[in-house]
């Protein structure tokens, strides 16, 4: 029989009351610093831990699992599990959870917001007004482009990609998509689209999918939006494409390295909107998102059936 109370390590402080519900039944330690726990801090806690709640910033690999002989469950509060070695966990009999369906609508909202933000030059306009440069009205001042009536190509047509498509019907957009299950070829989508929005999972096959050749196939008036995973887009190629005018600009919420390094060229790249991985960051989304992850740990530690990891 499982002991009544077990030790759970939560790698970041979470909003809402979900942690209190978990702490009512188990011994919970929460990492409260602003930055993620360093590797040595994470490793130091593993020998005593039965449950681990991780974030995308935490590398949960075979080494970490081997340092945790008492570990019974891993819950990753993210749509994906890019940071978890699922194969290693499976080999050790460790269930791995994520929260795939919780943030579909929240992320889809942000994808459309980035399309509007970059095409209508919202951040540039905000900076223009705040800097006191708005002294008169000029016909070509901060000239933008319309989303309504545009052709939008969706790369990856799962839950979030389909949710984006539903929103775009209200803008009278022509929606193209490409995915493992059908749609148009990627080359055609890139060639025809005024906006290309990335929603495919990060896999060995999709890493670097939007690289130099893909960007060159896009219209010079087109915008790239990525709310999926940073490494799907070749950042070096993207920076070069925007600087050269190969594409008109980009709206990004995800990056190869997060937080984005202070010296990263994207920080000073014109015609871009860059946000700090806000895809899931809403009050409503947080309550459900973190609640599901914590409830998974509670259930697994109580010996309940394991919810299957979903892509």
For 124-174, give the DSSP string: HHHHHHHTT---S--TTTT----STT-EEEEE--SHHHHHHHHHHHTTT-E
Catalytic residue, candidates 26, 72, 159, 277: 277
Strands 151-155 and 96-97: unpaired
Closest CA to 187 of 206, 210, 170: 210
How far apart are the C-alpha atoms of 279 and 95, rounded to whole Å? 26
Report whether the peptide linkage leading into residue 259 is cis, meaning its omega lies within 30 degrees of zero: yes
Q: Out of 258, 264, 295, 307, which one is annotated catalytic?
A: 258
45 in active site = no
CA 259/CA 69 separation, integer angstroms: 31
**Catalytically annotated residue among 199, 229, 235, 292:** 229
User: 68, 52 in Cβ contact below 8 A?
Assistant: yes
Does the annotation mark 277 as catalytic? yes
Burial 135-144 (b: 16+ CB within 10 A, else e): eeeeeeeeee
Write the secondary structure of 178-221 as one string of H (helix), E (strand) and C (coil): EECCEECCHHHHHHHCCEEEECCCCCCCCCCCECHHHHHHCCCC
Closest CA to 45 of 29, 27, 61, 57: 29
Is position 243 annotated as part of the catalytic site? Answer: no
- For the annotated catalytic residues, the residue numbers are 229, 258, 277
């Amino acid at each position: 029989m499982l002991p009544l109370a077990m030790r759970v390590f939560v790698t970041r402080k979470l909003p809402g009351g979900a942690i209190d519900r978990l702490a009512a039944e188990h011994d919970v330690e929460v990492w409260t610093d602003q930055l993620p726990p360093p590797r040595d801090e994470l490793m130091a806690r593993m020998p005593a831990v039965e449950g681990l709640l991780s974030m995308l910033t935490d590398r949960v690999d075979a080494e970490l699992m081997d340092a945790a002989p008492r570990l019974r469950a891993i819950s990753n509060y993210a749509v994906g599990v890019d940071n978890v070695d699922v194969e290693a966990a499976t080999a050790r009999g460790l269930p791995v959870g994520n929260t795939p369906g919780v943030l579909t609508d929240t992320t889809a909202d942000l994808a459309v917001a980035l399309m509007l933000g970059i095409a209508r030059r919202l951040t540039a306009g905000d900076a223009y007004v705040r800097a006191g440069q708005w002294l008169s009205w000029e016909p070509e001042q901060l000239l933008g482009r319309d989303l309504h009536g545009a052709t939008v190509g969706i790369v990856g047509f799962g839950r979030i990609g389909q949710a984006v498509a539903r929103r775009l019907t209200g803008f009278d957009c022509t929606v193209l998509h490409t995915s493992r299950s059908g749609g148009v070829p990627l080359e055609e989508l890139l060639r025809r689209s005024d906006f290309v929005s990335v929603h495919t999972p990060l896999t060995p096959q999709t890493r670097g999918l939007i690289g130099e050749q893909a960007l060159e196939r896009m219209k010079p008036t087109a915008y790239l939006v990525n709310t999926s995973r940073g490494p799907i887009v070749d950042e070096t190629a993207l920076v070069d494409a925007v600087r050269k005018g190969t594409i008109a600009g980009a709206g990004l919420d995800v990056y190869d390295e997060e937080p984005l390094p202070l010296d990263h060229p994207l920080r000073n790249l014109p015609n871009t909107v860059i946000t700090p991985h806000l895809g899931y960051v809403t009050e409503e989304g947080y309550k459900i998102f973190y609640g599901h992850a914590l409830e998974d740990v509670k259930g697994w530690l109580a010996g309940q059936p394991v919810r299957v990891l979903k892509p």
